[in-house]
Chains A and B, each alone.
Chain A
Amino acid sequence: MADAASTPPCVEVVDLHKRFGPLEVLRGVSTRVDRGSVVSIIGASGSGKSTLLRCINYLELPTSGEVRIDGEAVGFERRPDGQVRKRSAREIARFRQDLGMVFQQFNLWPHLTVLGNVVEAPLRVRGMPKREAMELGRACLARVQLSEKADEYPARLSGGQQQRVAIARALAMQPKVMLFDEATSALDPELTGEVLEVMRGLAADGTTMIVVTHEMAFAREVSDRAIYLHNGLIEEEGPPAQVFGDPKSDRCRQFLAKLLH
Protein backbone atom coordinates (compact mmCIF):
# COMPACT_ATOMS: atom_id res chain seq x y z
CA MET A 1 0.00 0.00 0.00
CA ALA A 2 0.92 3.65 -0.01
CA ASP A 3 3.57 4.93 2.39
CA ALA A 4 2.67 6.64 5.67
CA ALA A 5 3.02 10.13 4.27
CA SER A 6 0.21 9.61 1.77
CA THR A 7 -2.38 8.03 4.09
CA PRO A 8 -4.68 10.83 5.20
CA PRO A 9 -4.82 11.74 8.89
CA CYS A 10 -7.77 10.53 10.91
CA VAL A 11 -9.02 14.07 11.43
CA GLU A 12 -7.87 17.07 9.49
CA VAL A 13 -9.08 20.60 10.08
CA VAL A 14 -8.33 23.13 7.36
CA ASP A 15 -8.63 26.88 7.87
CA LEU A 16 -11.77 26.57 9.96
CA HIS A 17 -13.77 29.71 10.67
CA LYS A 18 -16.90 29.98 12.76
CA ARG A 19 -18.86 33.07 13.48
CA PHE A 20 -21.95 33.62 15.60
CA GLY A 21 -23.40 36.80 14.15
CA PRO A 22 -20.76 39.49 14.56
CA LEU A 23 -18.60 37.32 16.84
CA GLU A 24 -15.87 35.36 15.09
CA VAL A 25 -15.14 32.51 17.46
CA LEU A 26 -12.79 30.49 15.25
CA ARG A 27 -10.54 32.54 13.02
CA GLY A 28 -8.73 30.07 10.84
CA VAL A 29 -7.80 26.89 12.69
CA SER A 30 -5.82 24.18 10.92
CA THR A 31 -4.52 21.01 12.45
CA ARG A 32 -4.38 17.25 11.99
CA VAL A 33 -4.80 14.28 14.26
CA ASP A 34 -3.15 11.03 13.26
CA ARG A 35 -4.72 7.68 13.88
CA GLY A 36 -4.01 6.39 17.37
CA SER A 37 -2.79 9.71 18.69
CA VAL A 38 -4.13 11.86 21.51
CA VAL A 39 -4.36 15.61 21.04
CA SER A 40 -5.32 17.85 23.92
CA ILE A 41 -6.74 21.32 23.48
CA ILE A 42 -6.32 23.90 26.22
CA GLY A 43 -7.14 27.57 26.41
CA ALA A 44 -9.02 30.19 28.38
CA SER A 45 -12.79 30.18 28.71
CA GLY A 46 -14.32 31.55 25.53
CA SER A 47 -11.26 30.84 23.38
CA GLY A 48 -13.33 28.56 21.15
CA LYS A 49 -12.39 25.06 22.36
CA SER A 50 -15.93 23.71 22.50
CA THR A 51 -16.82 25.40 19.25
CA LEU A 52 -13.86 23.73 17.55
CA LEU A 53 -14.93 20.29 18.76
CA ARG A 54 -18.55 20.95 17.80
CA CYS A 55 -17.46 22.04 14.33
CA ILE A 56 -15.44 18.86 13.92
CA ASN A 57 -18.59 16.75 14.16
CA TYR A 58 -20.76 19.41 12.57
CA LEU A 59 -22.98 19.99 15.60
CA GLU A 60 -22.09 23.54 14.61
CA LEU A 61 -21.89 24.36 10.95
CA PRO A 62 -18.49 25.92 10.19
CA THR A 63 -18.74 29.31 8.51
CA SER A 64 -15.89 28.34 6.21
CA GLY A 65 -13.04 25.87 6.02
CA GLU A 66 -13.06 22.13 6.04
CA VAL A 67 -13.12 19.13 8.32
CA ARG A 68 -11.90 15.86 6.87
CA ILE A 69 -12.31 12.43 8.37
CA ASP A 70 -9.93 9.90 6.85
CA GLY A 71 -9.41 12.34 4.03
CA GLU A 72 -13.10 12.81 3.24
CA ALA A 73 -14.65 16.24 3.74
CA VAL A 74 -17.63 16.13 6.13
CA GLY A 75 -19.47 19.11 4.75
CA PHE A 76 -18.83 18.75 1.02
CA GLU A 77 -18.45 16.17 -1.62
CA ARG A 78 -15.78 16.69 -4.25
CA ARG A 79 -16.98 14.97 -7.37
CA PRO A 80 -14.45 13.44 -9.78
CA ASP A 81 -15.40 16.15 -12.26
CA GLY A 82 -14.19 18.76 -9.80
CA GLN A 83 -17.64 19.95 -8.79
CA VAL A 84 -18.24 20.60 -5.09
CA ARG A 85 -21.59 19.72 -3.55
CA LYS A 86 -22.83 20.45 -0.03
CA ARG A 87 -23.74 17.32 1.85
CA SER A 88 -27.25 16.79 3.23
CA ALA A 89 -28.03 16.54 6.93
CA ARG A 90 -28.42 12.81 6.48
CA GLU A 91 -24.95 12.41 4.97
CA ILE A 92 -23.44 14.50 7.74
CA ALA A 93 -25.21 12.33 10.32
CA ARG A 94 -23.52 9.38 8.64
CA PHE A 95 -20.10 10.94 9.42
CA ARG A 96 -21.10 11.56 13.03
CA GLN A 97 -21.50 7.83 13.57
CA ASP A 98 -17.71 7.64 13.38
CA LEU A 99 -17.09 10.51 15.80
CA GLY A 100 -17.82 9.72 19.42
CA MET A 101 -18.53 12.74 21.59
CA VAL A 102 -18.49 13.07 25.36
CA PHE A 103 -20.03 16.21 26.83
CA GLN A 104 -19.33 18.12 29.99
CA GLN A 105 -22.91 17.51 31.19
CA PHE A 106 -23.01 13.77 30.33
CA ASN A 107 -26.36 14.17 28.53
CA LEU A 108 -27.53 10.65 29.19
CA TRP A 109 -31.12 9.76 28.27
CA PRO A 110 -32.91 9.38 31.60
CA HIS A 111 -35.74 7.17 30.34
CA LEU A 112 -33.38 4.44 29.17
CA THR A 113 -31.32 2.15 31.37
CA VAL A 114 -27.56 2.34 31.34
CA LEU A 115 -27.36 -0.50 28.84
CA GLY A 116 -30.27 1.04 26.92
CA ASN A 117 -28.29 4.27 26.56
CA VAL A 118 -25.27 2.39 25.29
CA VAL A 119 -27.03 0.19 22.72
CA GLU A 120 -29.52 2.77 21.44
CA ALA A 121 -27.39 4.07 18.56
CA PRO A 122 -25.84 0.72 17.57
CA LEU A 123 -29.36 -0.73 17.37
CA ARG A 124 -31.24 2.11 15.74
CA VAL A 125 -28.56 3.90 13.77
CA ARG A 126 -26.22 1.10 12.78
CA GLY A 127 -29.07 -1.40 12.61
CA MET A 128 -27.09 -3.98 14.52
CA PRO A 129 -28.93 -7.19 15.51
CA LYS A 130 -30.15 -7.03 19.09
CA ARG A 131 -28.04 -9.83 20.49
CA GLU A 132 -24.89 -8.46 18.95
CA ALA A 133 -25.65 -4.93 20.16
CA MET A 134 -26.23 -6.18 23.71
CA GLU A 135 -22.94 -8.01 23.68
CA LEU A 136 -21.15 -4.95 22.38
CA GLY A 137 -22.93 -2.77 24.93
CA ARG A 138 -21.86 -4.98 27.80
CA ALA A 139 -18.30 -5.02 26.52
CA CYS A 140 -18.28 -1.21 26.40
CA LEU A 141 -19.66 -1.02 29.94
CA ALA A 142 -16.92 -3.39 31.05
CA ARG A 143 -14.35 -1.04 29.57
CA VAL A 144 -15.61 1.76 31.81
CA GLN A 145 -15.96 -0.61 34.78
CA LEU A 146 -19.73 -0.37 35.04
CA SER A 147 -20.86 -3.86 34.09
CA GLU A 148 -22.86 -4.21 37.29
CA LYS A 149 -24.88 -1.04 36.58
CA ALA A 150 -26.23 -2.17 33.20
CA ASP A 151 -29.85 -2.28 34.33
CA GLU A 152 -29.87 0.83 36.49
CA TYR A 153 -31.33 4.13 35.34
CA PRO A 154 -28.88 7.03 35.00
CA ALA A 155 -30.53 9.04 37.79
CA ARG A 156 -29.35 6.41 40.25
CA LEU A 157 -25.67 6.84 39.36
CA SER A 158 -23.06 9.28 40.63
CA GLY A 159 -21.74 11.94 38.28
CA GLY A 160 -18.55 10.02 37.66
CA GLN A 161 -20.51 6.89 36.83
CA GLN A 162 -22.83 8.81 34.54
CA GLN A 163 -19.90 10.24 32.64
CA ARG A 164 -18.41 6.78 32.26
CA VAL A 165 -21.72 5.57 30.84
CA ALA A 166 -21.56 8.47 28.40
CA ILE A 167 -18.10 7.32 27.37
CA ALA A 168 -19.36 3.76 26.91
CA ARG A 169 -22.25 5.09 24.82
CA ALA A 170 -19.81 6.87 22.51
CA LEU A 171 -17.51 3.84 22.34
CA ALA A 172 -20.39 1.58 21.35
CA MET A 173 -20.53 3.25 17.96
CA GLN A 174 -16.94 2.08 17.48
CA PRO A 175 -15.90 5.53 16.37
CA LYS A 176 -12.72 6.43 14.53
CA VAL A 177 -12.08 9.23 16.99
CA MET A 178 -13.38 10.23 20.41
CA LEU A 179 -14.03 13.88 21.18
CA PHE A 180 -14.05 14.91 24.84
CA ASP A 181 -15.36 18.34 25.82
CA GLU A 182 -14.24 18.98 29.40
CA ALA A 183 -15.46 15.57 30.45
CA THR A 184 -14.58 16.12 34.10
CA SER A 185 -15.46 19.80 34.57
CA ALA A 186 -18.95 19.14 35.90
CA LEU A 187 -17.74 16.58 38.44
CA ASP A 188 -16.89 16.91 42.09
CA PRO A 189 -13.11 16.75 42.49
CA GLU A 190 -13.23 13.31 44.12
CA LEU A 191 -15.04 11.91 41.07
CA THR A 192 -12.74 13.18 38.33
CA GLY A 193 -10.17 10.48 38.98
CA GLU A 194 -12.33 7.56 37.88
CA VAL A 195 -13.21 9.29 34.61
CA LEU A 196 -9.62 10.29 33.87
CA GLU A 197 -8.62 6.71 34.62
CA VAL A 198 -11.00 5.44 31.94
CA MET A 199 -9.70 8.02 29.46
CA ARG A 200 -6.14 7.04 30.27
CA GLY A 201 -7.07 3.43 29.49
CA LEU A 202 -8.55 4.41 26.14
CA ALA A 203 -5.42 6.35 25.23
CA ALA A 204 -3.26 3.40 26.20
CA ASP A 205 -5.38 1.15 23.93
CA GLY A 206 -4.54 3.36 20.99
CA THR A 207 -7.87 5.20 20.70
CA THR A 208 -7.65 8.35 18.62
CA MET A 209 -8.74 11.16 20.93
CA ILE A 210 -9.21 14.92 20.90
CA VAL A 211 -9.47 16.09 24.47
CA VAL A 212 -10.54 19.56 25.55
CA THR A 213 -9.58 19.81 29.20
CA HIS A 214 -8.58 21.97 32.11
CA GLU A 215 -6.75 19.03 33.70
CA MET A 216 -3.24 20.10 32.75
CA ALA A 217 -1.39 17.27 34.47
CA PHE A 218 -3.60 14.75 32.72
CA ALA A 219 -3.23 16.45 29.35
CA ARG A 220 0.53 16.55 29.70
CA GLU A 221 0.65 12.90 30.64
CA VAL A 222 -1.58 11.33 27.98
CA SER A 223 -1.26 13.56 24.92
CA ASP A 224 1.02 13.11 22.00
CA ARG A 225 0.45 16.72 21.09
CA ALA A 226 -1.10 19.74 22.76
CA ILE A 227 -2.78 22.78 21.28
CA TYR A 228 -3.20 26.10 23.05
CA LEU A 229 -6.13 28.01 21.63
CA HIS A 230 -6.40 31.75 22.08
CA ASN A 231 -9.19 33.91 20.67
CA GLY A 232 -10.07 31.40 18.00
CA LEU A 233 -6.52 30.79 16.78
CA ILE A 234 -3.91 28.16 17.55
CA GLU A 235 -1.34 30.14 19.47
CA GLU A 236 0.93 27.27 20.41
CA GLU A 237 1.08 23.68 19.25
CA GLY A 238 3.58 20.90 19.85
CA PRO A 239 4.63 18.02 22.06
CA PRO A 240 3.25 18.37 25.61
CA ALA A 241 6.75 18.81 27.02
CA GLN A 242 7.08 21.95 24.91
CA VAL A 243 3.57 23.37 25.31
CA PHE A 244 3.34 22.75 29.04
CA GLY A 245 7.02 22.98 29.92
CA ASP A 246 8.54 25.58 27.68
CA PRO A 247 5.96 27.35 25.54
CA LYS A 248 7.20 29.77 22.90
CA SER A 249 4.14 31.94 23.19
CA ASP A 250 3.99 34.40 26.06
CA ARG A 251 0.23 34.13 26.21
CA CYS A 252 0.42 30.39 26.65
CA ARG A 253 3.05 30.84 29.34
CA GLN A 254 0.82 33.33 31.17
CA PHE A 255 -2.22 31.10 30.82
CA LEU A 256 -0.37 28.18 32.39
CA ALA A 257 1.16 30.35 35.10
CA LYS A 258 -2.29 31.63 36.06
CA LEU A 259 -3.54 28.07 36.45
CA LEU A 260 -0.68 27.24 38.77
CA HIS A 261 -0.99 30.56 40.67
Chain B
Amino acid sequence: MFSQNLREMLDLALFWEYRQILLAGLAFNFYVFAVSAVVAVSLGFLAALGRVNPLRPLRWLGAIHVETFRNAPDYVMLVWVHFVLPLLLSQMLGQRITFAPFVSAVIALGLVYSGYLAETFRTGIQAVPKGQIEAARACGMGGALIMRRIILPQAVRMMLPEAMNNFVSLFKATTIVSLITVPDLMYRVSMVTQQEMRPLPLYTGAAITYFLLIWGVAALARAGSERWRRKIWA
Protein backbone atom coordinates (compact mmCIF):
# COMPACT_ATOMS: atom_id res chain seq x y z
CA MET B 1 0.00 0.00 0.00
CA PHE B 2 2.69 2.41 1.08
CA SER B 3 5.02 1.61 -1.78
CA GLN B 4 2.18 1.91 -4.23
CA ASN B 5 1.47 5.41 -3.00
CA LEU B 6 5.10 6.20 -3.31
CA ARG B 7 5.27 4.97 -6.87
CA GLU B 8 2.21 6.94 -7.81
CA MET B 9 3.55 10.05 -6.13
CA LEU B 10 6.63 9.92 -8.25
CA ASP B 11 4.78 9.12 -11.46
CA LEU B 12 5.12 12.57 -12.89
CA ALA B 13 3.94 11.66 -16.37
CA LEU B 14 0.51 13.07 -15.54
CA PHE B 15 2.08 16.33 -14.48
CA TRP B 16 3.98 16.41 -17.75
CA GLU B 17 0.82 15.73 -19.73
CA TYR B 18 -0.73 18.97 -18.46
CA ARG B 19 2.45 20.95 -18.81
CA GLN B 20 1.03 23.70 -21.02
CA ILE B 21 -1.82 24.59 -18.71
CA LEU B 22 0.47 24.35 -15.73
CA LEU B 23 3.16 26.47 -17.30
CA ALA B 24 0.62 29.18 -18.02
CA GLY B 25 -0.20 28.98 -14.31
CA LEU B 26 3.40 29.42 -13.39
CA ALA B 27 3.47 32.53 -15.56
CA PHE B 28 0.81 33.95 -13.24
CA ASN B 29 3.12 33.41 -10.30
CA PHE B 30 5.65 35.52 -12.13
CA TYR B 31 3.16 38.26 -13.00
CA VAL B 32 2.01 38.49 -9.43
CA PHE B 33 5.61 38.48 -8.26
CA ALA B 34 6.74 41.18 -10.65
CA VAL B 35 3.92 43.61 -10.03
CA SER B 36 3.94 43.04 -6.25
CA ALA B 37 7.68 43.59 -6.26
CA VAL B 38 7.26 46.97 -7.94
CA VAL B 39 4.59 47.95 -5.41
CA ALA B 40 6.67 46.66 -2.50
CA VAL B 41 9.86 48.40 -3.60
CA SER B 42 8.13 51.74 -4.16
CA LEU B 43 6.15 51.74 -0.93
CA GLY B 44 9.04 50.22 0.99
CA PHE B 45 11.40 52.92 -0.18
CA LEU B 46 8.96 55.66 0.82
CA ALA B 47 8.46 54.05 4.22
CA ALA B 48 12.22 53.76 4.70
CA LEU B 49 12.65 57.44 3.81
CA GLY B 50 10.01 58.18 6.42
CA ARG B 51 11.80 56.14 9.05
CA VAL B 52 15.09 57.96 8.61
CA ASN B 53 13.52 61.40 8.25
CA PRO B 54 14.44 64.15 10.71
CA LEU B 55 10.74 65.03 10.98
CA ARG B 56 9.12 63.08 13.76
CA PRO B 57 5.64 62.72 12.19
CA LEU B 58 7.18 61.14 9.09
CA ARG B 59 9.25 58.80 11.23
CA TRP B 60 6.05 57.74 12.95
CA LEU B 61 4.23 57.16 9.68
CA GLY B 62 7.11 55.05 8.42
CA ALA B 63 7.18 53.02 11.63
CA ILE B 64 3.44 52.43 11.57
CA HIS B 65 3.63 51.28 7.96
CA VAL B 66 6.43 48.85 8.70
CA GLU B 67 4.91 47.41 11.86
CA THR B 68 1.46 47.02 10.33
CA PHE B 69 2.45 45.23 7.17
CA ARG B 70 5.46 43.30 8.35
CA ASN B 71 3.39 41.74 11.09
CA ALA B 72 0.41 40.85 8.91
CA PRO B 73 0.45 37.21 7.76
CA ASP B 74 0.40 36.97 3.95
CA TYR B 75 -2.73 34.86 3.90
CA VAL B 76 -4.70 37.04 6.29
CA MET B 77 -3.75 40.13 4.34
CA LEU B 78 -4.76 38.50 1.07
CA VAL B 79 -8.18 37.54 2.33
CA TRP B 80 -8.71 40.88 4.02
CA VAL B 81 -7.75 42.90 0.95
CA HIS B 82 -9.88 40.75 -1.36
CA PHE B 83 -13.03 40.45 0.73
CA VAL B 84 -13.06 43.20 3.36
CA LEU B 85 -11.28 46.16 1.79
CA PRO B 86 -13.69 46.41 -1.19
CA LEU B 87 -16.62 46.48 1.23
CA LEU B 88 -15.03 49.24 3.26
CA LEU B 89 -14.31 51.25 0.14
CA SER B 90 -17.82 50.67 -1.16
CA GLN B 91 -19.22 52.05 2.09
CA MET B 92 -16.95 55.07 1.99
CA LEU B 93 -17.46 55.93 -1.65
CA GLY B 94 -21.12 54.97 -1.81
CA GLN B 95 -20.71 52.73 -4.83
CA ARG B 96 -20.04 49.05 -5.28
CA ILE B 97 -16.37 48.22 -5.62
CA THR B 98 -14.76 44.85 -6.18
CA PHE B 99 -11.17 43.88 -6.85
CA ALA B 100 -10.13 41.38 -9.48
CA PRO B 101 -8.25 38.53 -7.77
CA PHE B 102 -5.02 39.57 -9.46
CA VAL B 103 -5.38 43.13 -8.17
CA SER B 104 -6.06 41.97 -4.63
CA ALA B 105 -3.06 39.65 -4.76
CA VAL B 106 -0.78 42.42 -5.89
CA ILE B 107 -2.05 44.90 -3.30
CA ALA B 108 -1.83 42.40 -0.44
CA LEU B 109 1.61 41.02 -1.26
CA GLY B 110 2.90 44.45 -2.25
CA LEU B 111 1.88 45.86 1.13
CA VAL B 112 3.22 43.01 3.22
CA TYR B 113 6.57 42.92 1.45
CA SER B 114 6.87 46.71 1.47
CA GLY B 115 7.11 46.30 5.24
CA TYR B 116 10.02 43.88 4.99
CA LEU B 117 11.75 45.82 2.25
CA ALA B 118 11.41 49.10 4.14
CA GLU B 119 13.43 47.61 6.98
CA THR B 120 16.00 46.25 4.55
CA PHE B 121 16.31 49.66 2.90
CA ARG B 122 16.50 51.47 6.23
CA THR B 123 19.30 49.21 7.43
CA GLY B 124 21.22 49.89 4.25
CA ILE B 125 20.68 53.64 4.44
CA GLN B 126 21.72 53.80 8.07
CA ALA B 127 24.82 51.72 7.41
CA VAL B 128 26.40 54.64 5.57
CA PRO B 129 28.72 56.30 8.12
CA LYS B 130 27.48 59.62 9.53
CA GLY B 131 30.81 61.28 8.83
CA GLN B 132 30.35 60.89 5.10
CA ILE B 133 27.00 62.62 5.30
CA GLU B 134 28.47 65.44 7.37
CA ALA B 135 31.22 65.86 4.81
CA ALA B 136 28.56 66.15 2.11
CA ARG B 137 26.62 68.72 4.12
CA ALA B 138 29.82 70.63 4.75
CA CYS B 139 30.24 70.90 0.96
CA GLY B 140 26.83 72.53 0.72
CA MET B 141 24.99 69.45 -0.55
CA GLY B 142 21.28 69.25 0.24
CA GLY B 143 19.32 66.28 1.55
CA ALA B 144 18.05 64.95 -1.78
CA LEU B 145 21.45 65.21 -3.40
CA ILE B 146 23.10 63.44 -0.47
CA MET B 147 20.54 60.64 -0.66
CA ARG B 148 21.01 60.19 -4.39
CA ARG B 149 24.75 60.63 -4.72
CA ILE B 150 26.24 59.55 -1.41
CA ILE B 151 23.84 57.28 0.46
CA LEU B 152 21.96 55.23 -2.13
CA PRO B 153 24.92 54.06 -4.24
CA GLN B 154 26.45 52.57 -1.10
CA ALA B 155 23.22 51.49 0.57
CA VAL B 156 22.04 49.54 -2.47
CA ARG B 157 25.12 47.38 -2.42
CA MET B 158 24.95 46.79 1.29
CA MET B 159 21.29 45.83 1.31
CA LEU B 160 21.27 43.72 -1.82
CA PRO B 161 21.67 40.27 -0.21
CA GLU B 162 18.87 40.96 2.26
CA ALA B 163 16.66 42.39 -0.48
CA MET B 164 17.22 39.19 -2.47
CA ASN B 165 16.00 37.18 0.52
CA ASN B 166 12.90 39.38 0.65
CA PHE B 167 12.25 38.79 -3.04
CA VAL B 168 12.62 35.04 -2.67
CA SER B 169 10.09 35.13 0.17
CA LEU B 170 7.79 37.21 -1.98
CA PHE B 171 7.98 34.68 -4.77
CA LYS B 172 7.14 31.89 -2.35
CA ALA B 173 4.21 33.92 -1.10
CA THR B 174 2.78 34.12 -4.63
CA THR B 175 1.79 30.45 -4.25
CA ILE B 176 -1.08 31.36 -1.92
CA VAL B 177 -2.90 33.56 -4.43
CA SER B 178 -4.79 30.50 -5.68
CA LEU B 179 -6.86 30.90 -2.50
CA ILE B 180 -8.58 33.90 -4.06
CA THR B 181 -8.74 32.19 -7.48
CA VAL B 182 -5.80 33.78 -9.23
CA PRO B 183 -5.13 31.05 -11.83
CA ASP B 184 -1.52 30.33 -10.85
CA LEU B 185 0.23 26.96 -10.85
CA MET B 186 -1.31 25.78 -7.57
CA TYR B 187 -4.77 26.82 -8.67
CA ARG B 188 -4.46 24.89 -11.92
CA VAL B 189 -3.05 21.86 -10.16
CA SER B 190 -6.15 21.70 -8.01
CA MET B 191 -8.35 22.13 -11.10
CA VAL B 192 -6.63 19.27 -12.89
CA THR B 193 -6.79 17.19 -9.74
CA GLN B 194 -10.57 17.52 -9.72
CA GLN B 195 -10.67 16.01 -13.21
CA GLU B 196 -8.05 13.35 -12.85
CA MET B 197 -8.59 12.45 -9.21
CA ARG B 198 -4.85 11.80 -8.83
CA PRO B 199 -3.60 14.46 -6.41
CA LEU B 200 -0.32 12.77 -5.47
CA PRO B 201 1.68 13.16 -8.69
CA LEU B 202 0.18 16.55 -9.43
CA TYR B 203 0.97 18.15 -6.10
CA THR B 204 4.36 16.49 -6.01
CA GLY B 205 5.11 17.85 -9.47
CA ALA B 206 4.11 21.33 -8.35
CA ALA B 207 6.26 21.04 -5.25
CA ILE B 208 9.28 19.92 -7.23
CA THR B 209 8.78 22.63 -9.83
CA TYR B 210 8.57 25.37 -7.22
CA PHE B 211 11.49 23.98 -5.30
CA LEU B 212 13.81 23.78 -8.28
CA LEU B 213 12.80 27.20 -9.49
CA ILE B 214 13.16 28.99 -6.17
CA TRP B 215 16.31 27.15 -5.25
CA GLY B 216 17.92 27.95 -8.58
CA VAL B 217 16.93 31.59 -8.66
CA ALA B 218 17.88 32.12 -5.01
CA ALA B 219 21.29 30.58 -5.54
CA LEU B 220 21.87 32.74 -8.59
CA ALA B 221 20.70 35.88 -6.82
CA ARG B 222 22.86 35.15 -3.81
CA ALA B 223 25.94 34.56 -5.87
CA GLY B 224 25.32 37.68 -7.94
CA SER B 225 24.60 40.00 -5.05
CA GLU B 226 27.48 38.74 -2.92
CA ARG B 227 29.85 39.26 -5.77
CA TRP B 228 28.61 42.78 -6.38
CA ARG B 229 28.65 43.63 -2.72
CA ARG B 230 32.14 42.32 -2.14
CA LYS B 231 33.47 44.22 -5.09
CA ILE B 232 35.23 46.80 -2.97
CA TRP B 233 35.75 50.15 -4.46
CA ALA B 234 39.25 49.57 -5.56
Contact = CB atoms under 8 A, between A and B. Distances in A.
B140 A96 contact: yes
B54 to A, nearest CB: 10
A120 B233 contact: no
A125 B138 contact: no
B94 interface: no
Interface stretch (A16-24, A34-42, A65-73, A103-111): A103-111
B230 to A, nearest CB: 13
Contact of B139 (A110, A112, A156, A169): A169
Interface string A150-184: 00111110000000001001100100000000000
Given A120-B149, A155-B232, A107 B139 contact: no
B233 A155 contact: yes
Contacts, number: 75
B234 A156 contact: yes
B150 A125 contact: no
A107 B135 CA distance: 6
Interface stretch (B5-13, B61-69, B113-121, B126-134): B126-134
Contacts of B142: 89-90, 93
A120 B149 CA distance: 9
Contacts of B233: 110-112, 153-155
B135 A109 contact: yes
B140 A94 contact: yes
B232 A93 contact: no
B73 interface: no
A125 B139 contact: yes
A142 interface: no
A240 B101 CA distance: 79
A111 B150 CA distance: 8
Contacts of B135: 101, 103, 107-109, 166, 169
A110 B155 CA distance: 12
B223 interface: no
Contacts of A59: 134, 137-138
B150 A109 contact: yes
A79 interface: no
A152 B234 CA distance: 7
A99 interface: yes
A93 B234 contact: no
A107 B234 contact: no
A95 B137 CA distance: 11
A124 B149 contact: yes
Leading 9 A-B pairs by shortest Cβ distance: A97-B140, A121-B139, A107-B135, A107-B131, A101-B138, A153-B233, A96-B140, A125-B140, A153-B234
Given A59-B138, A89-B143, A109-B132, 11 more contacts: A57-B138, A94-B140, A101-B135, A103-B131, A105-B131, A110-B132, A112-B233, A124-B141, A125-B139, A153-B234, A155-B233
